[in-house]
Structure 1
Amino acid sequence: MDLVPLPKGRFWRSKSDFRLLRTAAAGENITPLYDPRLPHQCDVEPDLRDLNASLAALIEVFPNIEPEVFREMLLSISKESRVEVVTEHLLKKDAKWVRGRYRTGRRDRQPSTKSSGEQLGNAPTLAPEDGFRSEGYRKAVKQVLYEEFKNLSHSAIKAVMAEQNYSYTLSRPVLQQLATKSWRFTLANLWGKRSTSQTAGEHPNIVWRVEEPYEKIAVPGVRRTGNPQLDHELWKLFVEPVLITQRHERLAADHAYARALNEAEAEDAGALFDCECCYGSVTFEQIVTCDDACHQLCFDCVRRTVKEALYGQGWARTVDLERSTVRCFAPANEECQSCIPADRVRHALSPGDGNDETWQELQARMTSETLTKSRLRLQRCPFCDYAEADEVPTTKLKDWKGIWLHFATRSPVAVQIMVLSMLALALVFTVPIFLLASVLWIVAHILPPVGAVFHASWARVCRSRQGLKFQCRNPICSKMSCARCAALWRDPHTCFETEKTSLRTAIESSATAAIKRTCPRCLLSFVKSSGCNKLVCNCGYTMCYICRNEITSKEGYSHFCQHFRASGGRCSECERCDLYGDEDEEAAIRRAADMAEKDWRAREGAKEGHDMAAQLMVEALVGQARHGSWQDVWLDAIMDAVIE
């Protein structure tokens, strides 16, 4: 019989290992660990599959409504025509069902559970946390949370699970906050024992084991709960981050060991190279050369030079914007005009210690300055460095059917009358109109000012067709913003909401002050709604509403005009005030509002540094047609109808 050597030390490391051996000796079944590499089939009920399919369709049709609204409606409606019935209810009485539950932004979820379409800012899809849960998943989550949060009551755990759609990933943070406020948790802290698991090492379903290739590193595993979906969720939440961290640590240790071994072998063989900046000796793998003079520079000098250019004063001397790379900085007798290849700079900044973020910041700054120097019309994302060219598409005439349909259905009444008049005149003056159109076309192509007017009109039409919603296509940002006010887009969106409130307050205050009267004795302010123009204050002071002069008891009603006017109107015999005649309050309010608007625009324009922002704010509040000329309005309508 072969001898089997016994392992040194104890057979078990903790009490759990001893219980595992005792269970195996008793002949009981040992629960295996979850392996994500093996396919696990999850039985889904047919009705649950239909519910999730209906939920996904509704989320795609109504992307601005929270999924919980659809879940409530789908559960209260029979199986027949679920999607059609819910859609009809939302289109007719959305306020009754939604009750303000709109999507106002991305919820704080795990990145791994987000679909690619929602991460890129496209139409949202059904996330696993938003779908209907099976009964097996609910029971498994409840049992795991009961075992993990023993200091909380079962009713509190069930309530949190119901609020978070029975999702373990979303319920656990809420339960952790409740556990820290529980009186049981406070008493448990007196004995120095934590009753709430915060990490993977303290979770009851996480088992640590030692793998054969790495005997000194403990690897976590998930004890199966009976539901593959929950097992995978626990593995993604607790095990995968630890494995990724351990993998990065092993790679960093292997890289450091390989680098040290390479340097030692190169030093023994005399194969070190001298850096022409710091005059240090490094290996061949740590050297970059410029593309012209072949000056040798080490990776450390490249990193220090790039960081000095980003955070110091050496940007203009270090970076070449035409080639989008770093200039050679070797201290030669004559300044070297060559550059370091961009791929070598990227390789020098690729190792850890924040160098990858340095490369991203270097690329972002070079791109931003290049776009600024290009003098192109750009549409920028207000939340990141993303920008795209705001190009006006080329003009393309519609066919005569499309032009006629546009004029008949979408054009203003004034434009329709003008077009019909022109068509009537064209029957009589066809040749002069053709000549006039030809002359206008020639003048627009010969004279730059006239062509600029047509180009500006076409640009306004293009912007109105595109709308105000701007989508950032940067995968890191992917936010929706408003092209007019540069604010985060929220449905329903209102441009310059704060500024509009300020402007509205200024206009309303000025309009009120224009028709307001104040008693000079007690300083009581009031506005006349009806009656004569003789006003008597509570303090006894009497004044005229029109001229604001005091009316003494001796003067009385003789302050007002006493002549008879059969046809009404202004008295032609005296200049006294009218007793019942009102002043032109609408004109006074209009003048006060215009003056307040001008003052507000001047103040906001001076504060912002340019008048463009104030102009956009005023247009968003009072409308663009009020500030634009009628020629621009008619020209825009014609361009919108003629050009496709």
Structure 2
Amino acid sequence: MGMPAAAQNIISLFGLFQTSNYRRRQRNQFLPQIKEKVSSSNVSEQQQPGNIITNQKLKSNEHHQAVELDQEPELKELNCCLEKLATIFPDVRIEVFREMILACDEESRLAVVTEALLKHKTKWVKGRYKSANKDSRLCMQDEKSFTCDFGQVPVQEKFRSSSYKKSVKEITYQEFRGLSRSTINGILNDYNFSYIHARPTLLALSSKTWRFSLSALFKRRKSLYSSDLAHHPLVIWQPAGQEFLVPSLKSSGCQELDQELFESLLNPLKKQAIAEQEEKDYKIALDISITEAGQNESLHDCECCFTSSSFEGLTACEGGHFICFRCIKNSLQEAIYSNGWQMLINLERGSLRCVAAISHECSKTIPIYLVYRALEKEKTGKSLLRRLDERLAEENMLRSNLPLIRCPFCNYAEVDELYVPESKKSYRLKCTRPFSFHTVLIFLLGVCMIPCLFLLLLSCSMFSLNKNLYKNVVDQFNSSTNRIRRKHIGLKFQCKNKYCGRATCRHCLKEWIDIHICHESSLQDLRTFVELAMSDAIKRTCPRCNTSFIKTSGCNKLTCVCGYQMCYICRKDIGNGEGYLHFCEHFRPSGGKSCSECMKCDLYRCEEDEAVARKAKREAEIKWMKKEERLLNCDDKFRKVLEQNWKQVGDISLPERKRWRLPNKEYILDMMVESLIFVK
């Protein structure tokens, strides 16, 4: 029988295995002693603070971390309780569970904490609920150490071993000597002894101390308190040849901490070095290619900028015109960030039009894969291509004429869930039993309607004369079903853009925070309502791309980034060859007055924005008071606050108090439809 492969690899790695027949015969006798020597050598040599560790050493010591976990079974039990509590209460922060678990005895701690949270959740949580938006953004920043799934505990939120805490304290004490140990311990406790996440706060505090100021004043050199990974005190640059330096890491004395530091400090540096080296190699290869092409007289001219380039630096349209990579990049920037979208982008093909200067009549496009090839080596190429994809998707959605819901923090949009095609709409009565309340109600209504048959026939004849009656009834019914669907769907909107990922409210467009209350108060609702009305009164919105803007100077002929032209005064489309002909061209001896010969808009003069905003403010306040009439009649404190605020202005007065008010027709219609019909 041979030795197990895992034990053989471990022993041969440290030079403790000798391939002799005697050792093989005695493997069962000496194997425990050899394993003990291996584990002791790991702790004595590679786990001592200050030693230099590499990636090979970290991989060879992966088994040592499992040994440490076996030595602390209580830590494993605590983390198991933490995961179960996170599954039961997914909306509560992990720090609440840690505090409650440590405050309980070992016996039945999970049951005690669960019962306490079920009975007195508000008392123990104290507002410390999870923010889904913050967790999602952290997930995108660090996918290894964070997780967005409910019921899973991130690594930095779990209970730490005593050796991990000791090592974190030692390296922070040595790095931040200008801070007191009590300050460092307090910050480490706040971050659950996570060195990576506590270090930015410690850096900010250390930069405000007098020692840091004196060091920066007299030494005049780069401070050790730097957030740059290359100047981290645990990172050592060792020579790996005549011109290269390779980063290495000082051992902290804890295998778990060393692994985290290696992934957080050395891996980004290595990726950055590899990216920089690839960029240098690409430039060198491109220069060599251009030089060799010039020597062999095989250079080609770009048909847009007429500069010579090698064949590897050119692309071509479907008509055979050669265009260099630089012109491709400049054309895309002009199309996306300027006014060249309609001229340079073919929406049918979703790619760039031919920009060759010698062929203005070329209607071909550059294949999209060649556009990607031209920009894949550029620094801003990825962001430019991502912006191109977003703009194309937005244009296609606008052309579909479907109702859209947009994220207020980015350009993400999706079709509204309320939209249901006419072919898929279905309604059925809520009659689950043969003699239910609804069945009896419908039967009684039918019997009562028999004597009124003549009136129904008469109304049908009038109905045929009034064509708008049927349309109004259908519109009211559709509006009611949409309100019911919206209530079932909810107000939370989750952005699926991986660069944003925020959750917002569909009603108030604010960031969603559990438990969410729209506008938080009626005063905030009033202020938001008035500000929105004032901004809508003075801003202009492009009907093609829904971009809002305000004119600060210049003439009244406005051109949107999408190419749409409109008049700032009357908001008319003047892009179909009308242009400046839309405005008055008559001479006036004195400026600032309207033309007496025509009714066209003025090219420069427009209405005052301040007067328009004041008028919109007054109308919005009156409209809001009518909407919140019930609140004004019931809440005396809120009414007094509004009276004090508006008494200073003097142009608005609250309506008289009413003792009661009947429900509106929308409320009654929604109640009837929801009680009688299943709305899908």
TM-score above 0.5, yes or no: yes
Gaps of 5+ in 1: 1-27, 409-415, 508-601
Q: 1:131-157 CA deviation, whole Å, 9 max, x = no partner?
A: 111111001111111222233333332
Greater displacement, 163-172 / 361-370: 361-370
Gaps of 5+ in 2: 1-47, 531-611, 635-660
Query: Aligned-pair distance for 1:188?
Result: 4.3
State the partner residue of 2:483. Answer: 460
State the partner residue of 2:302. Answer: 275
Amino acid at match of 1:162: N
Query: Aligned-pair distance for 1:484?
Result: 1.0
- Does the C-alpha gap of structure 1 residues 139 and 333 become closer, same or farther in structure 2, counting only changes over 3 Å? closer
- 1:133 and 1:620 map into 2 onto residues whose CA distance is 55
State the partner residue of 1:642. Answer: 678
Q: Is the 8 A contact 1:113 1:127 kept in 2?
A: no
The answer to whether structure 1 residue 491 and structure 2 residue 514 are counterparts is yes
State the partner residue of 2:280. Answer: 253
Q: Is the 8 A contact 1:396 1:643 kept in 2?
A: yes
Given candidates 368, 372, 381, the residue that maps to 2:407 is 381
State the partner residue of 2:91. Answer: 64
State the partner residue of 1:123. Answer: 150
State the partner residue of 1:9. Answer: none
Amino acid at match of 1:373: R
State the partner residue of 1:142. Answer: 169
Q: Is the 8 A contact 1:209 1:218 kept in 2?
A: yes
State the partner residue of 1:4. Answer: none
State the partner residue of 2:236. Answer: 207
- Does the C-alpha gap of structure 1 residues 619 and 175 become closer, same or farther in structure 2, counting only changes over 3 Å? farther
- 1:70 and 1:221 map into 2 onto residues whose CA distance is 37
Given candidates 87, 94, 100, the residue that maps to 2:127 is 100
Query: Aligned-pair distance for 1:115?
Result: 5.7
Greater displacement, 230-239 / 123-132: 123-132
State the partner residue of 2:492. Answer: 469
Q: 1:215-268 CA deviation, whole Å, 9 max, x = no partner?
A: 412111112222121112222332122212111110001101111111122222
The answer to whether structure 1 residue 365 and structure 2 residue 391 are counterparts is yes
Given candidates 51, 56, 71, the residue that maps to 1:31 is 51
- Does the C-alpha gap of structure 1 residues 140 and 637 become closer, same or farther in structure 2, counting only changes over 3 Å? same
- Does the C-alpha gap of structure 1 residues 287 and 181 become closer, same or farther in structure 2, counting only changes over 3 Å? closer
Where do 1:146-161 residues align within 5 Å? 146-161=173-188
Where do 1:25-424 residues align within 5 Å? 31-35=51-55, 36-38=58-60, 40-41=62-63, 42=65, 43-44=68-69, 45-104=72-131, 105-106=133-134, 113-114=142-143, 118=147, 123=150, 125-189=152-216, 191-192=218-219, 196-198=224-226, 199-200=228-229, 202-212=231-241, 215-291=242-318, 293-332=319-358, 334-391=360-417, 392-393=419-420, 394-396=424-426, 403=432, 420-424=440-444
Query: Aligned-pair distance for 1:31?
Result: 3.3
> SS at the partner of 1:642?
strand
Query: Aligned-pair distance for 1:320?
Result: 1.5
Identity fraction in percent: 31
- 1:258 and 1:134 map into 2 onto residues whose CA distance is 51
Q: 1:58-83 CA deviation, whole Å, 9 max, x = no partner?
A: 23433332221110011122344444
Larger radius of gyration: 1
> SS at the partner of 2:134?
coil
Greater displacement, 136-145 / 183-192: 183-192
- Does the C-alpha gap of structure 1 residues 149 and 503 become closer, same or farther in structure 2, counting only changes over 3 Å? closer
> SS at the partner of 2:207?
helix
- Does the C-alpha gap of structure 1 residues 426 and 50 become closer, same or farther in structure 2, counting only changes over 3 Å? farther
Q: Is the 8 A contact 1:495 1:620 kept in 2?
A: no
- 1:69 and 1:152 map into 2 onto residues whose CA distance is 28
- 2:239 and 2:156 map into 1 onto residues whose CA distance is 33
Amino acid at match of 1:221: S
Q: How many aligned positions are there?
A: 500
- Does the C-alpha gap of structure 1 residues 366 and 604 become closer, same or farther in structure 2, counting only changes over 3 Å? farther
Q: Is the 8 A contact 2:139 2:146 kept in 1?
A: no
Q: Is the 8 A contact 1:33 1:223 kept in 2?
A: yes
- 1:269 and 1:39 map into 2 onto residues whose CA distance is 56
> SS at the partner of 1:220?
strand
The CA RMSD measured in Å over matched residues stands at 4.3
Query: Aligned-pair distance for 1:608?
Result: 12
Amino acid at match of 1:160: I
Q: Is the 8 A contact 1:384 1:477 kept in 2?
A: yes
- Does the C-alpha gap of structure 1 residues 356 and 331 become closer, same or farther in structure 2, counting only changes over 3 Å? same
> SS at the partner of 2:349?
coil
> SS at the partner of 2:247?
strand
Q: Is the 8 A contact 1:150 1:195 kept in 2?
A: no
Q: 1:538-587 CA deviation, whole Å, 9 max, x = no partner?
A: xxxxxxxxxxxxxxxxxxxxxxxxxxxxxxxxxxxxxxxxxxxxxxxxxx
Q: Is the 8 A contact 1:137 1:229 kept in 2?
A: yes
- Does the C-alpha gap of structure 1 residues 118 and 203 become closer, same or farther in structure 2, counting only changes over 3 Å? closer
- 2:205 and 2:492 map into 1 onto residues whose CA distance is 40
Q: Is the 8 A contact 2:145 2:156 kept in 1?
A: no
Query: Aligned-pair distance for 1:489?
Result: 0.7
- 1:481 and 1:606 map into 2 onto residues whose CA distance is 27
Q: Is the 8 A contact 1:68 1:130 kept in 2?
A: yes
Q: Is the 8 A contact 1:460 1:636 kept in 2?
A: no
Query: Aligned-pair distance for 1:312?
Result: 2.9
> SS at the partner of 2:352?
strand
- Does the C-alpha gap of structure 1 residues 58 and 466 become closer, same or farther in structure 2, counting only changes over 3 Å? same
Query: Aligned-pair distance for 1:502?
Result: 5.6
Q: Is the 8 A contact 1:34 1:224 kept in 2?
A: no
Q: Is the 8 A contact 1:319 1:325 kept in 2?
A: yes
- 2:529 and 2:49 map into 1 onto residues whose CA distance is 78
> SS at the partner of 1:129?
helix
Q: Is the 8 A contact 1:471 1:480 kept in 2?
A: yes
Amino acid at match of 2:179: L
Amino acid at match of 2:284: Y
- Does the C-alpha gap of structure 1 residues 220 and 234 become closer, same or farther in structure 2, counting only changes over 3 Å? same
- Does the C-alpha gap of structure 1 residues 109 and 467 become closer, same or farther in structure 2, counting only changes over 3 Å? closer
Q: State the TM-score, normalizing by the size of structure 1.
A: 0.67
State the partner residue of 1:3. Answer: none
Query: Aligned-pair distance for 1:357?
Result: 1.6
Amino acid at match of 1:238: L
- Does the C-alpha gap of structure 1 residues 459 and 429 become closer, same or farther in structure 2, counting only changes over 3 Å? same
